[in-house]
Every structure is written in structure tokens, then in C-alpha cells.
Amino acid sequence: MSPSPLVHLAPAVADALAAGRPVVALESSIIAHGFPPPQNRALADELAATVTAAGAVPAMIAVISGELRVGLDADALDLLVRGNLAKASARDLGPLIAAGVTAGTTVAATARIAALAGIKVFATGGIGGVHRRLPNDSGPPDISADLAELGRTTIAVVTAGAKSILDLPATVEMLETLGIGVIGYGTAEFPAFHSRESGLPLAHRVDGIAPLAAAVRAHLHVAGTAMLVCNPPPAAIAVPWAELSGWIEAALQSAGREGVSGQRVTPHLLAALNRFSGGRSQAVNRALALDNATLAAKLAVAL
Ligand code: PSU
Ligand code: MN
């Protein structure tokens, strides 16, 4: 499939796709909005090196000066890590292209652009989902467009479940409603991003790359939706749920007090969680993002 005329492939990505070699798409909101400079630049470089070391070509995706870029060079990364950038979900891409701006792409936007480019495997930290109600908020429910996008886009997404700050039972129900595939890699429980535990059972589990690739390949041929490959955060650094839930409660109180809404909710909650956890949540986020990049690369090689 030839990519959309609006999608700009880096030379290494174009070559790999043309030759049928493994490529892993990487989300850029984690770089633009999740980590402050200079850690964000270091993480972008580590993610790329991790994918390369596991035998695939890394393709971080972002909107750079109005271009949908698949694979970022050093100049593009310099623009992405400055902070205060727009956060692009899939529906924002049209106006952002027209305005010529630079933006980090969410899971929704990254999945859309990756699929346009013909990429089959995408690594993120954790997807968005159904938000919990913030204290004193009586407004409408806040549901990430990540869910709707993954319900109509054929791609494998390696993720540590969904972000722990979300309403995870509601998110898991919505994944079912939308027909999004969910499979545990070495787990029968939906991971909770910073924690390996959520108490939410998974219907499908695999314990090796070959059975994972078989299930993903079949899903991508029949389902017409994304397949979430749920990879729990590394045991050595994951936070027990009992400890995590106190920090999340404090972060929700902080967001409620400040009246945060819209696209600012997720970045605000993650930053607050990092303060309340004394930096532990960001350390887990970094470790799981790198671990997901490794698994995604192995999956892309096997496919
Ligand atoms: N990491 C952050 N902040 C974010 C995100 C990641 O520190 O905002 C992005 C992810 O890319 C995810 C998105 O896809 O947040 C979900 O946000 P929303 O609920 O606004 O759709
Ligand atoms: Mn939202």
C-alpha cells in the first residue's frame, strides 16, 4: 500500500518498509508531554536504540512543522523536546497540518499515521481510556479518542495496559465494546501501567514470541481493529497497586482543585503522580516504555 501523500517517511523507514523488514512505530506524546527536558530527549534516543538493538527499525511519529513524520531525525527531535507543544489526537491532524505547527502525537494519532504508512507494530507506554471522575466535577464523561481510533485501525499496540490514572474496569469494558483485541504477554491480568496488578482478568494469554505473533497475525487479518499486546511493567520496578492507589487519589484531588479539563487531564495527572510518588512513577514509565519497545521489535521481527 503506498502511503498517503501527506505522510513523510524517513529514508531508513521507507527502505525497511519497501524491503519488508521489521519497523516499530513509537508514540511522541510521551516525549513532548510526558517527560521534561532533557530526560525526554534521552528517552527518545534510548527508545530508538532499544528497537534497533532488537532488530527492527524505529519510527517515532510526530507532526513537525505541519508534516506527518514517520521516523524523526535529530532536527525533528530538537523541535519535539522543547516543551509546551500541541498534543495531537487523530482528529487534530488536519488543522495542525494546515497551520504548519509541531505537535506530539497521542496513541490515537500515532496509530492512524502508522497505519497510513503501512506499519504493523506500534509501541507505547500505556494507552488512554475512560477517565475517572475528578473531585467536584459534574461534567460529561471524559473518554480518550485512543479507544475509538484503536476500534477502527488495524495495528498491534504493545502497551502496559492502560494508564493507571484511568477507570480501568470501564476502560476494559469499552475495549470489549469496540472489538479491540486484548492479549496478555506472560500475564492473565490487564496491567495497570505502573502496576502489574489490576484485578481485571484477560481472556487470552500467550507466553512466547511465536504464539504472540501467530495471534497478532490472525487478528490483523480478520478483526479490522487494533490488537493490544498487554506487557506488564518490569517486576523489578513496578509499584504494588496498594501503594500506587494512594498517589493516584492525591493526583486526582490536585487535578480537581485546579479544574483541569480536556487534553490537559492526562499530562496533569501524570505530572502530579510523579510529585506524589517522589519520582517513582516516571522511573516506572521510562522502564516500561523501553520494555514495550523491545517486545514490539521482537514481535515485528517475528511477523
Ligand atoms: N504521556 C503523557 N501525557 C499524555 C500522553 C502520554 O505524559 O498526554 C498521551 C498518550 O499519548 C495517550 C494520551 O495516548 O495521552 C491520552 O490522552 P487523552 O486522554 O487526552 O486522549
Ligand atoms: Mn479526554
pLDDT one-digit tens code per residue, 157-198: 999 999 999 999 999 999 999 999 999 999 999 999 999 999
DSSP state of 154: -
Nearest 5°: CA angle at 122, between 110 and 294?
Answer: 140
For the Cβ of 144 lying below 6 angstroms from any atom of ligand 1, the answer is yes
Percent of the chain with pLDDT over 90: 96
**103 pLDDT higher than 60:** yes
**83 pLDDT higher than 90:** no
* pLDDT per residue as tens digits for the range 228-278: 999 999 999 999 999 999 999 999 999 999 999 999 999 999 999 999 999
How would you class 12 by CB atoms within 10 Å of its CB: exposed for 0-12, middle for 13-18, buried for 19 or more?
Answer: middle
Return the higher-pLDDT residue of 87 and 5.
Answer: 87
Return the higher-pLDDT residue of 70 and 3.
Answer: 70
Catalytic sites, residue numbers: 27, 163
Ligand 1 site-directed mutation target among 143, 266, 277, most atoms within 8 Å of CB: 266
> What is the mean pLDDT of the segment spanning 30-51?
97
Give the mean pLDDT of the chain. Answer: 97
142 Cα–ligand 1 center, Å = 13
**2 pLDDT higher than 80:** no
According to the model, what pLDDT value does residue 5 have?
Answer: 87
Which bin fits 177, alpha (ψ -120 to 50), beta or left (φ > 0)? alpha
For the Cβ of 281 lying below 6 angstroms from any atom of ligand 1, the answer is no
The secondary structure of the chain in percent helix, strand, coil, rounded to multiples of 5, reads: 45, 20, 35
Max Cα-Cα span within the chain: 54
172 Cα–ligand 2 center, Å = 17
154 Cα–ligand 2 center, Å = 22
DSSP state of 255: H
Percent of the chain with pLDDT over 70: 99
Return the higher-pLDDT residue of 2 and 205.
Answer: 205
According to the model, what pLDDT value does residue 4 have?
Answer: 85
CATH classification (class only), 7-238+285-302: alpha beta
According to the model, what pLDDT value does residue 283 have?
Answer: 98
25 membership: H or E segment, kind and range: strand 23-26
Confidence (pTM): 0.97
Nearest CA to ligand 1 atom 4: 267
> What is the mean pLDDT of the segment spanning 54-67?
98
According to the model, what pLDDT value does residue 136 have?
Answer: 87
What's the CA gap between 164 and 229, in Å, rounded? 16
For the Cβ of 107 lying below 6 angstroms from any atom of ligand 1, the answer is yes
For the Cβ of 165 lying below 6 angstroms from any atom of ligand 1, the answer is no
8 Cα–ligand 2 center, Å = 28
According to the model, what pLDDT value does residue 3 have?
Answer: 79
Start-to-end Cα distance in the chain: 17
**46 pLDDT higher than 90:** yes
According to the model, what pLDDT value does residue 64 have?
Answer: 98
For the Cβ of 168 lying below 6 angstroms from any atom of ligand 1, the answer is no
For ligand 1, what atom is nearest to the CA of residue 30? 1
For ligand 1, what atom is nearest to the CA of residue 263? 20
According to the model, what pLDDT value does residue 33 have?
Answer: 96
Residue 121's nearest CA partner among 296, 301, 302 is 296
What's the CA gap between 282 and 291, in Å, rounded? 14
